[in-house]
Amino acid sequence: MARVRSVGASWGSDHTELLPPGHRVGDWVVAEPIGAGGWATVYAGRPVREGAEPGEVALKVMPTAGLAPRQARNVAESARREVELGRRAGHPRLVRLLDSAVLRAPEHPSLDGAIVLVMERAAGSLRDLIGAGVDETEGGRLITGICEGLAHLHRSGWVHSDLKPENVLIGGDGSVKLSDFGLATELTGTHGYAPPMGTPDYLPPERWRAPLGEQGVRVRPSADIWALGLVIHEVFASGTPLFPGATPMARGNSVQEYAAGRAPLRMDDAVPPFWRALAADCLAPAHEARAGHTAESLLARIAAREEGRAAGQGTVRRRRWARAAAALAVAACGAAGAAWWYAGPPGGSGAGPARVRVFNAERACQDRADRDPQCSLGLALDPLLPYAAGNVAPDRVWHGDPLEADCLLANGEAVIDEADLRSTLWFRVRPSGADPGVRVWLPAVRTKDRPELPRCPAPANGR
């Protein structure tokens, strides 16, 4: 488990349940409260350093004083899971954990021993967005971001266990980030075990009748996929629940009726056909039928659909371009041939090598000069393989770092950055200070530079 610091604070005699603005918690200063749940209150906060902007972070304060021993253990275990997952499974689609502390305030027993988690702050949640309704393009972007976060969680050996619109946060730049990992479950093989907790409206059918053993109830990634199906429906149905009922228990009974085959799956007519089919697969009644629809496979289906739509649009564009080109050819018979888009002619020499500067779409990392590991970016060994932990070079780079690029590969593995820009283009680069023969790969979404370069030959062993 990541280290949890113990910090002190002094409180005014009029302090009640809420932390007053201006109080210091370790290296952070409390601002106004911005939310509350069953176990925690969340405050806006800022670093103590001079000149820091207010509201830069979110402080999740989880009191333990006054709770029954079992409740206190549950709160501590919830915090431990958030810290552990934040330490081991960081990703642009997961809210970043920046710090953690145990509050020492013996003169105020209700706060003494409270656990404080310091996280990046979002502008709002998915729940805030979908109530007003979103179009298919925006809804698809949001769902894609959720799938990316789930895919990373599952690859890292975790199940979120409490996926719902309130736990999908939206950044000020529109980025999608999963949050609230207090119920996250670490997998041992195909499943893990967790306390019988969670939001009833998003529990899969098997959880309603799951046996409770000494380790808790069995949890598998397919539970997140079920919740994803419900979220997809809500995104396009303006937040309307899929299963009817006036209470969570009544809606749970509707889930059981559907799972037993006694009731059909009735989706809102506002859900577009592609997303309706995707949600229906996520909502397969049995775990065994749902297990084949992983977050990775759902992402692949979404990507294939987008590529198909882009190809169709490209055909129209190419026809228009051909007509325009014919007209230009008549008007400028002796003009030179068209230039290739910053990749040089196919197999041609192009200019190069050229210098490209690394770009990090995370705004919080763009003004930092301390080369914080959480702001570092990886270079791939092989651009044709998934951009994952086993395919990352030892060298890390940061926003603004210059790299020497000698060619460009046009059809590598697709990469999506924090701003939801997607590209299959990769630059072959040499890290600063590396031996002349070292070559690794930078995805084109990680730089704003567009030098003219020759096409790279097919890579062999990442070179």
Between residues 137 and 460, the one the model is more confident about = 137
Most confident of 181-190, 223-232, 241-250: 223-232
- Under the banding of pLDDT at 50, 70 and 90, the label for residue 16 is very low
- Candidates 37, 195, 48, 20; CA nearest to 118 is 48
- Output phi, psi for 416, to 5 deg: -120, 125
As given in the structure block, the two tokens for residue 364 are 């919080």
Q: Tell me: do 75 and 184 sit in the same domain.
A: no
pLDDT digits (tens, 9 = 90+) for 37-69: 767 888 888 888 766 665 688 888 888 766 667
Give CA–CA dist 374/376, Å, rounded: 6
Q: Tell me: do 261 and 138 sit in the same domain.
A: yes
Element (H, E) at 290: helix 287-290
DSSP structure class, residue 346: T
Q: Global pTM?
A: 0.63
pLDDT of the residue at 225: 97
Mean pLDDT of 73-97: 80
pLDDT digits (tens, 9 = 90+) for 366-402: 888 888 877 888 898 988 887 766 788 888 899 999 9
pLDDT at position 345 over 50? no
Give CA–CA dist 216/308, Å, rounded: 44
Mean pLDDT of 450-454: 88
CA atoms lying within 13 Å on the CB side of residue 257: 14
- Candidates 208, 206, 269, 222; CA nearest to 242 is 269
317-331: burial string, b at 16+ Cβ within 10 Å, e else: eeeeeeeeeeeeeee
Domain boundary (66, 100, 120) is at 120
Residue with tokens 């791939």: 380
Q: What is the CATH classification number for the domain harbouring 74?
A: 3.30.200.20
- Under the banding of pLDDT at 50, 70 and 90, the label for residue 260 is very high
Q: Tell me: do 281 and 383 sit in the same domain.
A: no
pLDDT at position 239 over 90? yes
Between residues 436 and 246, the one the model is more confident about = 246
Between residues 89 and 35, the one the model is more confident about = 35
Is 162 an annotated catalytic residue? yes
Q: Which of 27, 112, 128, 162 is catalytic?
A: 162
Contact 400, 406 (CB under 8 A): no
Q: What is the CATH classification number for the domain harbouring 239?
A: 1.10.510.10
pLDDT at position 363 over 50? yes
Give CA–CA dist 104/6, Å, rounded: 7
pLDDT digits (tens, 9 = 90+) for 303-320: 999 887 766 655 555 555
373-389: burial string, b at 16+ Cβ within 10 Å, e else: eebbbbbbbbbeeebee
Give CA–CA dist 450/104, Å, rounded: 53
Contact 258, 285 (CB under 8 A): yes
Q: Tell me: do 29 and 64 sit in the same domain.
A: yes
Based on the structure, what is the number of domains in the chain? 3
pLDDT of the residue at 421: 64
* Least confidently predicted of 18-32, 235-249, 441-455: 18-32
Mean pLDDT of 185-198: 76
Give CA–CA dist 28/61, Å, rounded: 12
Domain boundary (102, 120, 138) is at 120
The strand ranges marked E within 141-197 are 158-159, 168-170, 176-178, 185-186, 192-194
List, as one string, the DSSP characters of 206-274.
HHHT---BTTBEEE-HHHHHHHHHHHHHHHHTTT--SS--SSHHHHHHHHHHHHTTSS-----TTS-HH
As given in the structure block, the two tokens for residue 275 are 């997303």
pLDDT at position 2 over 60? no
Task: Give strand pairing partners of 416.
Answer: 422
Contact 410, 424 (CB under 8 A): yes
- Candidates 28, 183, 46, 19; CA nearest to 121 is 46
Q: Tell me: do 140 and 116 sit in the same domain.
A: no
Q: How far apart are the first and last CA of the chain?
A: 37
Between residues 178 and 423, the one the model is more confident about = 178
Contact 100, 83 (CB under 8 A): yes
pLDDT digits (tens, 9 = 90+) for 107-131: 667 777 788 888 888 888 999 899 8
Mean pLDDT of 242-256: 92
Give CA–CA dist 380/389, Å, rounded: 9
Q: Tell me: do 221 and 135 sit in the same domain.
A: yes
What region does 121 belong to: left with phi over 0, alpha with psi -120 to 50, or beta? Answer: beta
Whole-angstrom CA distances from 347 to 302, 344, 406, 407, 429 are: 31, 8, 13, 10, 18
Q: Tell me: do 276 and 366 sit in the same domain.
A: no
Q: Tell me: do 260 and 215 sit in the same domain.
A: yes
Q: Tell me: do 80 and 153 sit in the same domain.
A: no
- Is 451 part of any domain? no
Q: Tell me: do 95 and 242 sit in the same domain.
A: no
Between residues 349 and 250, the one the model is more confident about = 250
Give CA–CA dist 306/420, Å, rounded: 14
Q: Tell me: do 194 and 116 sit in the same domain.
A: no
* Least confidently predicted of 76-85, 232-241, 314-323: 314-323
The strand ranges marked E within 285-401 are 354-357, 377-380, 392-397
Domain boundary (87, 102, 120) is at 120
- Is 323 part of any domain? no
25-52: burial string, b at 16+ Cβ within 10 Å, e else: bbebbbbebeeeeebbbbbbbbbeeeee
Give CA–CA dist 195/217, Å, rounded: 6
Q: Tell me: do 261 and 128 sit in the same domain.
A: yes
- Is 221 part of any domain? yes
Instruction: Residue 102: give the domain boundaries.
Output: 5-120
- Is 362 part of any domain? yes
As given in the structure block, the two tokens for residue 155 are 């690859």
Element (H, E) at 165: none
